[in-house]
């Protein structure tokens, strides 16, 4: 029985029933998405700490392009049914909202 809280598209394309050592399309896209996530994490730090304006501008452009590549990989994986999300219960959303809305009083400008 499928999980009622799961958000996913049906899988498209032919994936092998038994996974061998060779990579398939889903493996390549998963690797691409993981690499983009790793790069954006590290480019965020590099951009934030860049002391030279031209270096900052160039790395910011690369960061934005890498974020877009990650988004494109995610969208393609989700479209093909290879990326699943878990829907949150309304109670979980309300608890998170209450928890973090209290933090706004700690911001210098509110």
Annotated domain spans of the chain: 33-81
What does the pLDDT read at residue 100? 82
What does the pLDDT read at residue 1? 46
* Distances in whole angstroms, Cα of residue 19 to Cα of each of 7, 16, 25: 24, 6, 12
The answer to whether the predicted template modeling score (pTM) of the entire model surpasses 0.85 is no
Residues of the chain with pLDDT under 70: 1-4, 6, 8, 13-18, 110
pLDDT digit string, tens, across residues 75-93: 999 999 888 888 888 898 8
8 Å CB contact between 40 and 68 = no
Query: Which residues are paired to 7 by β-bridges?
Result: 85
């Amino acid at each position: 029985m499928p999980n009622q809280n799961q958000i996913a598209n049906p899988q498209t394309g032919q994936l092998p029933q038994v996974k061998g050592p060779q990579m398939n399309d889903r493996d390549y896209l998963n690797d691409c998405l993981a690499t983009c996530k790793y790069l954006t994490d590290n480019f965020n730090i590099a951009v934030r700490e860049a002391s030279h304006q031209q270096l900052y501008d160039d790395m910011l452009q690369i960061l934005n392009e890498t974020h877009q590549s990650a988004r494109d990989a995610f969208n393609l994986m989700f479209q093909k049914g290879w990326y699943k999300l878990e829907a949150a219960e309304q109670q979980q959303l309300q608890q998170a909202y209450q928890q973090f809305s209290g933090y706004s009083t700690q911001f210098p400008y509110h």
